[in-house]
Amino acid sequence: MCCIEYGGELGYYQEDIARWKAEGEIEILVKIGIKVPDAPCTFLSDEPYRCTIYKTRPYVCRHFVNGGTPCIDLRTKHGLPVYAAA
* 57: number of Cβ within 10 Å: 19
Cα–Cα distance for residue pair 30/61, rounded to 1 Å: 19
Residue 71 as a binder of ligand SF4 (CB under 6 A): the answer is no
Residues 72, 82: contact at Cβ < 8 Å?
Answer: yes
Q: Whole-number minimum distance, CB 9 to ligand SF4, in Å? A: 9
20 versus 43: smaller Cβ distance to ligand SF4 = 43
Residue 57 as a binder of ligand SF4 (CB under 6 A): the answer is yes
Per CB under 6 A, residues contacting ligand SF4 are 3, 7, 10, 41, 43-44, 51, 53, 57-58, 61
